[in-house]
Each structure stands twice: as structure tokens, then as C-alpha cells.
Amino acid sequence: MQLSNPEPSLPQHAARTRRRIRWVSAAAGLLILFVGAFAWGARHAALRPAPAALTYTALLSAMTEGRVDSIAIVPGKQVLGWWAGRATEDPFRVVYSSANVDGLVQRAERAGVSITFRESSGSRLDYLNVAVSVVLVLILAIVVRRHMGGGQGGGSDLGRTTGSDTTFTSVAGNEGAVAELREIVEFLRSPARFDRIGARTPKGLLMFGPPGTGKTLMARAVAGEAGVPFWSISGSEVTGFIVGLGVMRLKSLFKKARKRGGVIFIDELDALGGRRGRNQSHNEDDRTLNQLLIELDGFSPSDGVIVIAATNRAEDLDPALLRPGRFDRSVSVSLPSAIEREAILRLHAAQRKVPLDAGVDLGRLARLMPQSSGADLANLLNEAAIVAARNGTEQVAWSDIESARDRLLLGKERTGFRASDREWRIVAMHEAGHALAGVTCCPEDGLHKVTIQPRGQAMGVAFFSPDSDQHLHSRRYLEGQIVKGLGGRAAEQVVFGPDAITSGARSDLQHVTRIAKEMVYNLGMGDSTGLMIYDNQNGPVSGELHAAMDREVRSIIDGLYARTVALMETHRAALEALGEALLAHETIDGPDAVRLLEQHGLPAAGVAA
């Protein structure tokens, strides 16, 4: 999890500021120039007196009578004329919109009138058109330049370079990935040691895994440990709408990196290195990828450059990127385990100086947050600190962490929510059914708490927390998850009758259907379909097999639902006792809920801490 974004170095910031000042000054100068020209033209036109207006018929009569000395024709616009004996005075004006002047010329010649032709002179509208055109050109130039600079004001330059002060002491969890990266640090520190024994240092390393697992932070730590520059770019920054722009940017980046050495970090590599040919209407992405492949082949390990890339979708990358000599190594950055989550929580609490109450157990919190990334854990601590500050306390207590966890998982508490007493009773029995089924059929996931406090879209929830991370799931465990998911609907049916079941089980039914389909379609756990699985990569299965798999999924759900209903009927007293307690107290902790169930006939069961 990256804690902060370092600011650009002072020389870079000053150079960027100077470039911006030059551009703004040039644009302002041009704008002032053309606005001044427009104003001068408008003023010059305003100072000249307007000619007297005359109709075309009056002009013809005057020429016939010999009262016109000369005329100046502007085809398609106007005719200017001067009276005989007063040629030095201001002319009169006749609107003449026709481009055909033959008839007028013939009449003037017969009358002995001198004829001249003039071009159309500029008007206020002409000056305005020129000014608007210039402004539009300036705007287009600024947009193109910004696009070419990737929003950084750097022309074809790409990549922000900083001296990273991050080290591996700022990284917690993912020890396997960190060990791989420590070797990269050794390559950067002393490449000659590997050259002496004929070892070729890797050119590139690909880190892949879920979002928020700290890939950027680890890459920055490599540069910080090795004491080399850190060049950071995003795959989406490279390409643009100008043909050849991506190629030019990559050339510039690698040229600068070869001069100074260091780590080039490419985030979102899938945006740049996706499979070629995926975009049939625009092959600029393919040209940019080809240039990246050329650059990876074009530098020597002795240049002291290592390319580290990160992606969440490694399966979408072009195979040419992954061959040896380009991205030589691939490192999986997975979600942290419970022990690693605890270490990440302790690191964030120490670095952010979060004052924790003595009653806060970070180990317990780590177990309560399975499948959470480092970013999720950092956000959890931040939300808990916000809750503590809102409550006016000086330390973050366990209740603050619980409130923050509930908000992140379920959403904000709906304080103004109202429901009838019957609906609250249905919700209480529904959540009690989940708790009873989970404690009985899935003891590995200890009950953490049960609540009917409305949050987000849920009117209640039963939280379960495993004692430790599980990587393999037995059929019994998966069936227990289905029973736990069906406990709410079964409780409604047993307590209120089949006709009174509600829509509250919608998300539960989606969840159990997903598990049952996973068992049959992907894990070969169907009784009638055997070990045959549904694999799209090997082509679609036959319609008969597909129908058989669907029947098997329904058979699993129907059989486990009957088992869940029987469980609720057997322990109805415990079910109703927990439901009534929820109506009275709204939220019940896991250990208290289990004790209440056991007091009303449920066999002894364990609960997670």
C-alpha cells in the first residue's frame, strides 16, 4: 500500500513552471495582438462618415440626367458614386448584391460616367472572424500539446523521475515477493558481480495480483534500496490520438533512463501491453506495444536499467512480452494472510501515528478481515481514526474499529430507516437462522456478531470470522456454506409458514447458487455428472451434459434446503430465543449468541475470538 506520492524535484518543478510561463506569455501576446487589430479596425471604420444611401433606380436616373461624375463598383456588394461637379465630396452608396455588372457598366458608358472596380474591404465582421479563428487555433494547439505531454507539460516526454526514499522497511507482508525484489536490488547495486560468473541480469520483472496489494510501493522500494532514480508511468499515459505519439514517448523515456539508469515502473501494463489485434479499428496500440518490445530488446543489462511492470490482468498480456529477455521474471503479489494482515496493520498504525487503545487487538482484527488487501486495511484504520475524532476521543478504541468495519463492509448506518414491528420480527428470525445454521454446520467460521441494525441495503447481518485463512475447502465446508446461506429463508418458513417467506433472501439465494454451480461446474462434485467440468477453453459441453449439470445444481440446493429446514425445526426454541434477543438488543456479540443458543438446546459449539 503506497502511503504517499513524492513531490517532483525542485529543478523539474522550476523547469515545468518556466515552460508554462513561456506558453502562457506567447498565447497572451498573440491574443492581445489580434484583439488590438480588431479594435483598430473597428475604430477606423467608425471614424469614417457613412456614405449617403441611394436606390438603384435613383442611380440610373441620375446617370441618364448627367448628374453622376464617376462610380466605383464592388461586385456583389455595393456601388459608390460621386456627383458631377462635387467629385471631391463624400460619395453616395448604392446596395448592389448582384455579381453581374454588365448592365450597369453599359448604362454608365452610355451616360459617359467614369467606371472603376474595387475589391471588398474588410469589415468588423471580418476582423471578428479572424480573431475567433486565431483563438480556436490557440486552443487546439494547447490541447494537442497537453495531450502530447501526457498532462505533464513535457512535449513528448513521459515518466516522472524521483529519488525514491522508500525502502523495504515500509513494506509488510508478501515476503515471497519481497525476496524476489531483493535480488533485483542486488543486480542494480553490483551488476559486475553477476557478470564475472556469466550471469545475465534480468531486464524486466512483472508483478501481478489484485488491486491494492502494494505493487507500486514495492517497485518504489527497489529504487530506494538500490539508490537509483525511479521512473514512474502508467500504461494509459503512453498512447494518444496522434499517430506515432506512443512510439515517440517510449523512445524518449528509455533514452533518458539509459543515461541515468534506475527503475522504470510501468503501472497498468495491460493498458499498453494487451494482446495485439484486439482493436481492429485502430492499430496505434499495436505499434506502441511493438516499440516497447524493441526498447526491451535494445538496452543492455550493463545500462543499469530494470523495468518493473504491474498489472491486475496478466492473462490479457501479449505473449511476446513474457518471453525470456524481456520480462524475465513474474512475481505473484497475492492478498495477505492473517499474519501478514496483522503486520500491515501494525505498520500503518506506526507510520500514521494512530493512537490505539490498549483494548485493540490487531491480531483479532486481521482475522476479521479475510481477503483484504493492504489498501483495504489502511482505509479501515483511517475510517476508525475518523470515527474516533468524530466522537471526540484521543485514542482509537475497538468500538471505533467495529464501526469503521461495518461501514466499509455494509455501508453507512441508516439512522432514519423505519419498518413495521412484523418486518423487524421477520428480519430478526432471518438473521437468527443464519447464525444457527452457521454455528451448527460451519463451525470453522466462528460467529462474530449478529445484528439487525440497518446498513446500506441490508436490514441485518450475521458476521462470521474464520480462525485462520483457508486455502482448500472440503465438500463438507462448501455444503455448510450453502446451509448457512439458506438459514434465513428456512427460519422464515419454519417460524411464519411457507406462505410468509419474503424477498429478504434474494442475495442469499444468489450466493448459494454461485457456490453450488462452482461445486458442479468447476470442482467435479456433482453426483451424476462425476468429474466432468465445464471448461470454456476446451469448447462448450454438450447440451445434455449442461442440462445434467443444471439439474445437479438444483438437486444440491434442494437437498441442503430440506436439511436446513429440518435443522430449524429441531432447534426452533433456540432460533426464536436468539430472534427475540435481537429484537430487544439489536446487536449481539458472537460468544453471547452462542451461549444463548446452547442454553436453549443447541449442542455445544465453538466461536472465534
**Strand 445-451 with 461-466, pairing:** antiparallel
Q: Are residues 319 and 172 in the same domain?
A: yes
Judgement on whether residues 533 and 426 belong to the same structural domain of the protein: yes
What distance in Å separates the CA atoms of residue 461 and residue 458, rounded to the nearest whole number?
A: 7
pLDDT digits (tens, 9 = 90+) for 121-153: 655 556 566 667 777 777 777 666 665 554 444
Confirm whether 22 is domain-assigned. yes
Specify whether 322 is located in the same domain as 388.
no
Side-by-side strand order, sheet with 68-74: 52-53, 92-95, 78-83, 68-74, 114-117
Percent of the chain with pLDDT over 70: 82
The rounded Cα 592 to chain-centroid distance in angstroms is 42
Which of 431, 444, 479, 492 is an active site residue? 431
> 431 with 459: CB under 8 angstroms?
no
pLDDT (mean) for 330-354: 89
Based on the domain organization, do 449 and 531 belong to the same domain? yes
Query: Domain range for residue 583?
Result: 421-599
588 pairs with which residues across the strands?
Answer: 450
* pLDDT given at position 144: 61
State the average pLDDT over residues 62-75.
86
**What are the beta bridge partners of residue 267?**
234
Instruction: Classify residue 550: in a domain, yes or no.
Output: yes
- 486 and 550 inside one domain: yes
Of 101-105, 426-430, 556-560, 570-574, the one with minimum mean pLDDT is 101-105
Q: Is residue 229 in some structural domain?
A: yes
Check residue 385 and give its pLDDT: 92
Q: Is the pLDDT of residue 344 over 50?
A: yes
What span, in angstroms and rounded, lies between the C-alpha atoms of 229 and 250? Answer: 17
Q: Strands (DSSP E) along 229-273, which ranges? A: 229-234, 262-267
Nine-digit cell string for 401? 474499529
| Residue 267: inside a domain | yes
Q: How far is CA 380 from CA 174, 212, 368, 396, 410, in A?
A: 19, 13, 12, 12, 13
Asked whether residue 22 falls in the same domain as residue 139, the answer is yes
Same domain, 561 and 501: yes
- Which pLDDT tens digit goes with each residue over 393-451? 999 999 899 888 888 887 777 777 788 889 999 999 999 999 999 999 988 888 888 98
- Where residue 401 sits, what CATH number does that domain have? 1.10.8.60
Contact at 8 Å (CB) between 295 and 249? no
Residue 119, C-beta contacts closer than 8 angstroms, at least 6 positions apart: 74
Q: Verify that 457 and 524 share a domain, yes or no.
A: yes
| 431 is a catalytic site residue | yes
Distance CA 389, CA 95 (A): 79
Do 527 and 589 share a structural domain?
yes
In a domain, 171, yes or no: yes
Same domain, 504 and 559: yes
Residue 337 · residue 374 · CB < 8 Å: no
pLDDT of residue 579: 92
Residue 281 and residue 290: Cα distance in Å, rounded?
17
Q: Is there a domain that residue 460 lies in? A: yes
Question: Is 154 contained in some domain?
Answer: no
User: Are 372 and 517 found together in one domain?
Assistant: no
Same domain? For 280 and 354 the reply is: no
Q: State the first-to-last Cα distance of the chain, in angstroms, to the nearest integer.
A: 27
The more confident residue out of 9 and 356 is 356
Q: What's the domain count of the chain? A: 5
Among 332, 359, 379, give the residue marking a domain's end.
332
